[in-house]
C-alpha cells in the first residue's frame, strides 16, 4: 500500500460531485471544491481531455472531419463542446456544407438557428471563423 491507495480507500473515489460528511461539495478523492477548487493546471488538463474527446467523437462520426484545417475543426469542436454531438447532428445542412467546403453556406446555416440566438456573439465569432478560416 502507498499513500494514494490509502487515501482512495479512506476517502473513497467519486466521479461526480457530492456533499461530504460536513456538507462541502467534493469530488474525486476528497477534493473539497468549495474551499480548494481546481488549480489552473487541473482546469487545463480537464479542458485538453474534453477537447480531445470531442474531436474524437467528430472524427468517428464524420470521415471528412480530419481533412478540415485546424481552424474549422475548431469550430466543430467548439460547437460540440457547447451542445454535444447530438446538438451538432441537428445541423444537417451545415454539416453538408462543411463537408463540401462551402464555408459561406455553413456560416449562414450556423447563424440561421435557434442555437445562434441562444449563444449570441459566440455564434457570430464561430460563423466568421468558419467563413474565413482564421481564428476569431
> What is the reported pLDDT for 117?
97
The x, y and z cell numbers of residue 59, run together, are 472524427
> What is the reported pLDDT for 61?
98
pLDDT tier at 84 (50, 70, 90 boundaries)?
very high
Angle 42-44-48 (CA atoms, 0-180°, nearest 5)? 120
H/E stretch holding 129 = helix 121-132
Tell me the domain boundaries of the chain.
Answer: 11-61, 66-132
* pLDDT tens per residue, range 24-54: 999 999 999 999 999 999 999 999 999 999 9
Q: Which CATH class is domain 66-132?
A: mainly alpha
Average pLDDT over the chain, rounded to an integer: 97
pTM: 0.92
Amino acid at each position: 500500500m502507498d499513500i494514494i491507495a490509502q487515501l482512495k480507500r479512506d476517502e473513497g473515489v467519486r466521479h461526480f460531485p457530492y456533499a461530504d460528511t460536513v456538507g462541502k461539495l467534493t469530488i474525486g478523492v476528497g477534493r473539497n471544491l468549495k474551499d480548494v477548487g481546481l488549480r489552473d493546471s487541473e482546469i487545463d488538463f480537464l479542458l485538453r481531455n474534453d477537447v480531445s474527446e470531442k474531436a474524437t467523437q467528430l472524427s468517428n462520426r464524420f470521415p471528412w472531419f480530419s481533412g478540415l484545417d485546424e481552424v474549422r475543426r475548431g469550430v466543430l469542436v467548439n460547437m460540440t463542446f457547447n451542445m454535444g454531438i447530438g446538438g451538432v447532428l441537428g445541423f444537417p445542412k451545415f454539416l453538408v456544407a462543411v463537408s463540401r467546403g462551402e464555408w459561406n453556406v455553413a456560416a449562414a446555416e450556423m447563424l440561421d438557428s435557434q442555437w445562434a440566438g441562444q449563444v449570441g456573439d459566440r455564434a457570430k465569432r464561430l460563423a466568421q471563423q468558419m467563413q474565413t478560416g482564421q481564428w476569431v
